[in-house]
Chains A and B, each alone.
Chain A
Amino acid sequence: MANYEDIISKYQDLPGGIIEAYHALQREYSYIPEDAIRVAAEVFGIPTAKAWGVATFYSYFKVGKRGKNVIRICESAPCHVAGAAEVIAALEKELGIQMGDTTSDGKFTLELCECVGQCQATPVITVNSKPYGDMTPEKVSGVLAEYK
């Protein structure tokens, strides 16, 4: 709890810096802890409701617990026609969880997302924002092995 303030207060003097503070929190925890939102509201001198509103507006931010490694699968049209659904099925099978869930050991979270701008190699997934292109069901276990 204490170090939320350490992370957030670095951006205190930056105009509009709350979004940068949220990015910093997410780099540390892979998500934004709910308590950190109250701390951010205090540091930036805004109502908690507003700090909450900012954090939940942006889909790159996740308020509340997430696994250590966040796997996002693009489902925008170019990835959709390139076979994203098969990659999704393979990821769910390999990890034994559904989209939106986290593995019981807290290592992986699966999420759908929109375009990540790597469309030269559809379908695309990202692990902790690192892109993996031209994904196939066969490639899934190899990518996951890097994070196990």
Chain B
Amino acid sequence: MAEEMRIVLRNYGKIDPLKIDDYIAAGGYKSLEKARGMKQTEVIEEVKKSNLRGRGGAGFNAGMKWNFSYQVQSEEKYVVCNADEGEPGTYKDRIIMENDPQSVIEGMAICGYAIGSKKGYIYCRGEYPYVVDTLNQAIAQAKAKGVLGDFDVEVRMGGGAYVCGEESALIESIEGHRGEPRFKPPFPPVIGLWQKPTIVNNVETFANIPIIIEKGGDWYKAIGAPNYPGTKVLTLTGDVNNRTFFEVPTNTTIREVIFGLGGGVAGGKKFKAVQIGGTSGGFIPESNLDTPIDFDSMNSIGAVLGSGAVFVMDESRDIVDVVARIAKFFEHESCGKCSPCREGTKRMHEMMERLNVGEGSAEDVELLGRLGKVMSVACLCGLGQAAPAPVLTTIKNFNADYQAKFN
């Protein structure tokens, strides 16, 4: 039986998020103090040792990323917190920031010390003006207390562009430009914000940092799946009884999440599909439900952990209709910089709509498969590369739904 384990949400409901004294009384800012008593390389080693991997969806080793920036000689470096949470079905970063903003700020300050940066930005999505208020209050309190030392943090608001979750597009947006991804390399840890070394980490990644410094990398890496240790905050949506969030060790299986913590499929109906990781995630059939949610296990079944969104669909759901809706999303959110994505998402949406209203053919399905394969390798950034996943995985795993549209 799956159980929750709260590391990222360790202070959830226990402290008043707008009272820094509560956070400090719960041990807050001791890790920053501890880190500042260590060598920069020791802090990075500890994070590396924990094997903490990015919680935004890309799963890159956080300590290794920090080391890239540490190694670059530069007067100025930046720490950026990616709070542009826009993956449909995801609200975990909001839960973290609303309930424990100081843990994120402390994580950023530790990163700042480790890489040699004195300036941090939190890029928070424009749809969360109330979270921006909470963050600004938390930052003001941290500055008044003097806990941040010479590290400064500033909040910037996004403008409702899904692509700005991609780190180089996010950087473009902070610089005041259209949020179009950059060509890589160079990668942001070497050349990022205003051409300076920049670490962009997700909210949940930063919230993990203070406790890793407090308890050590060895403690952390013993939790959950060895190749992607720790916990993951999941948000359950769709046809599931408990539409809420849970934090679980990463060796928890999909079945335990949906049927244990999630309370099973709503309305006594049968399970049909689950899409994990947000709207760009693959659709998973019943036969794969015993897969652990960790990054590598999910990849091995052609799915992703992504942002940790868990979107459950019951037996009554028309998969083609849902995927047609998703295809519209990607056409809308494609930034237009590269043609495989700009044209590909448009054609994909057209074909999915045609199929959905019963005017499509087996040839459309075949074309979708070919287009999807091209996009997943030819698109400039993760948006276009991942956009075909819902189409490709449903053609593979839920082909009957497509066939039903021809008759």
A129 and B322 contact, Cβ closer than 8 Å, known pairs A15-B175, A115-B87, A115-B90 = no
Contact B161 A114 (CB under 8 A): no
For residue B243, CB closer than 8 A to chain A, the reply is yes
For residue B86, CB closer than 8 A to chain A, the reply is yes
Contact B317 A60 (CB under 8 A): no
For residue A4, CB closer than 8 A to chain B, the reply is no
| Whole-angstrom CA separation of A129 from B125 in the bound complex | 12
Contact A120 B157 (CB under 8 A): no
Interface residue tally on A, bucketed by range: 35 or more
A102-116, CB < 8 A from B = 113-116
> B60-68, B207-215, B325-333, B379-387: which one contacts chain A?
B325-333
CB distance from A82 to the nearest CB of B (A): 8
Which A residues are in CB contact (< 8 Å) with B322?
Answer: 77, 80-81
Contact A18 B88 (CB under 8 A): no
A16 and B176 contact, Cβ closer than 8 Å, known pairs A115-B89, A117-B128 = yes
Mark each residue of chain B from 150 to 164: 1 if its CB lies under 8 Å from any CB of chain A, else 0: 000000111111100
| Whole-angstrom CA separation of A58 from B169 in the bound complex | 12
CB distance from B370 to the nearest CB of A (A): 24
| Whole-angstrom CA separation of A121 from B126 in the bound complex | 20
| Whole-angstrom CA separation of A37 from B125 in the bound complex | 22
Which B residues are in CB contact (< 8 Å) with A129?
Answer: 127, 129-130
Chain A's closest residue to B85 (CB) is: A117
Contact B326 A60 (CB under 8 A): no
Give the number of residues in B that approach A within 8 Å (Cβ atoms). Answer: 50
Residue from A19, A22, A78 with most neighbouring chain B CB atoms (10 Å) = A78
CB distance from B81 to the nearest CB of A (A): 16
For residue A54, CB closer than 8 A to chain B, the reply is yes
Of the candidates B86, B179, B317, the one whose C-beta lies within 8 Å of that of A115 is: B86
Contact A54 B311 (CB under 8 A): no
CB distance from A12 to the nearest CB of B (A): 12
CB distance from A39 to the nearest CB of B (A): 15
Contact B161 A122 (CB under 8 A): no
Contact B175 A16 (CB under 8 A): yes
Which B residues are in CB contact (< 8 Å) with A122?
Answer: 237, 243
A114 and B332 contact, Cβ closer than 8 Å, known pairs A76-B88, A129-B129 = yes
CB distance from A99 to the nearest CB of B (A): 14
Chain B's closest residue to A53 (CB) is: B178
Contact B243 A120 (CB under 8 A): yes
| Whole-angstrom CA separation of A81 from B317 in the bound complex | 8
Chain A's closest residue to B239 (CB) is: A81
Contact A57 B179 (CB under 8 A): yes
B201-260, CB < 8 A from A = 235, 237-239, 243-245
For residue A44, CB closer than 8 A to chain B, the reply is yes
For residue A17, CB closer than 8 A to chain B, the reply is yes
Chain A's closest residue to B94 (CB) is: A117
CB distance from B157 to the nearest CB of A (A): 5
CB distance from B117 to the nearest CB of A (A): 15
| Whole-angstrom CA separation of A54 from B176 in the bound complex | 8
| Whole-angstrom CA separation of A37 from B113 in the bound complex | 39
Mark each residue of chain B from 116 to 142: 1 if its CB lies under 8 Å from any CB of chain A, else 0: 000000000111111000000000000
A60 and B160 contact, Cβ closer than 8 Å, known pairs A44-B176, A117-B128 = yes
For residue B194, CB closer than 8 A to chain A, the reply is yes
Which A residues are in CB contact (< 8 Å) with B333?
Answer: 114
Residue from B159, B332, B333 with most neighbouring chain A CB atoms (10 Å) = B159
**Interface of A with B (CB < 8 Å)?**
15-20, 22-23, 44, 53-54, 57-61, 75-78, 80-82, 113-122, 126, 129
Q: Can you list 16 A-B pairs with a CB-CB distance of less than 8 A? A: A16-B175, A16-B176, A20-B157, A44-B176, A54-B176, A58-B160, A58-B161, A59-B332, A75-B328, A77-B311, A78-B88, A80-B325, A117-B94, A117-B128, A120-B245, A126-B127
